[in-house]
Amino acid sequence: MYTIGEFSKINRITPKTLRYYEQIGLLKPARIDAVTGYRYYSTEQLPMIRKILRLKDLGLSLDEVREFIARPEQASLLLKAQQQRQRQVIEQAESRLARLEEYLIQSEGVPEAMGSSVSIKRLPEVTVASMRTVVPGYESYFDIVPKMGEYMGSVGAICSEPAYCFTIYHDGEYREHDIDVEICEAVIEPCRESEQVKFKTVKEVTQAACLMHTGPYATLRESYNRLFSWIGENGFRVTDSPRESYIHGIWDREDPQQWLTELQIPVTKCST
């Protein structure tokens, strides 16, 4: 048996942390001395504390760790959800870097034509709730997306965290009217489908040329022109339908000038 001090040193955590794990029912001592109140841990508990610490290191919350241990049949689902969250954290960091680079370009007076703010990155595979339709224009999104969200809520669909909403343009180019769109919202797992809302897996895109657009959707044309020009000028060709990933919009920014959209176009390097 190990005292709480010995057990904490072996596992490189504090006695305070062990007491907290006991308090929340995550890991209780093997024995508590009735007279002194001293806590003792057994050798058999070493694999469990190491599992807890490893799951925490992977980014799971203590509630998720507790569920992982209590419901082993849900373990794979919890890990996949965390995997998706971490991928989105990386994407957000890459998007922030792109915005920083664009700001530096603007502040230093470097011409936009140089395209330094365009980045090539991977778009990970993701499970989504999907609605494909033809819309008369961008303003239609403000009607369609809330209705899609209402349906997802009615079937218990759990959106990924952080949120990842994007639109695929099946016309293959920028259009302002009669647009063939597929609106996608990332979810943890598929749910019951309706005639309009389907659940599917959007495959990984190994390379996408990406550009951050700041401002209302009405000014997207200029950003698309800039991105398509960069693709041709830098020896790439388009391989699939363009996407728009919505980072900030009407749901969290009242001023359209603060809306932030990432344009994503799957590409491959042209053979020489």
Name the superfamily (CATH) of residues 86-269. Regulatory factor, effector binding domain (3.20.80.10)
- Which residue in this structure is represented by tokens 């001395």? 33
CATH 1.10.1660.10 fits 2-70, yes or no: yes
The Cα 178–Cα 180 span in angstroms is 7
Question: 2-70 and 86-269: same fold?
Answer: no
Arithmetic mean of pLDDT over the chain: 85
The answer, yes or no, to whether residue 121 has pLDDT greater than 70, is yes
What's the confidence (pLDDT) of residue 113?
39
Q: Which of 214, 9, 189 is nearest to 84 (CA)?
A: 189
- Segment 89-101 shows an average pLDDT of 72
Tens of pLDDT, residue by residue over 199-222, are 999 999 999 999 999 888 877 888
* pTM, two decimal places: 0.55
What's the confidence (pLDDT) of residue 110?
41
- Pairwise pLDDT comparison (118 vs 148), residue with the higher score: 118
The Cα 157–Cα 165 span in angstroms is 14
Q: In the chain, where are the structural domains located?
A: 2-70, 86-269
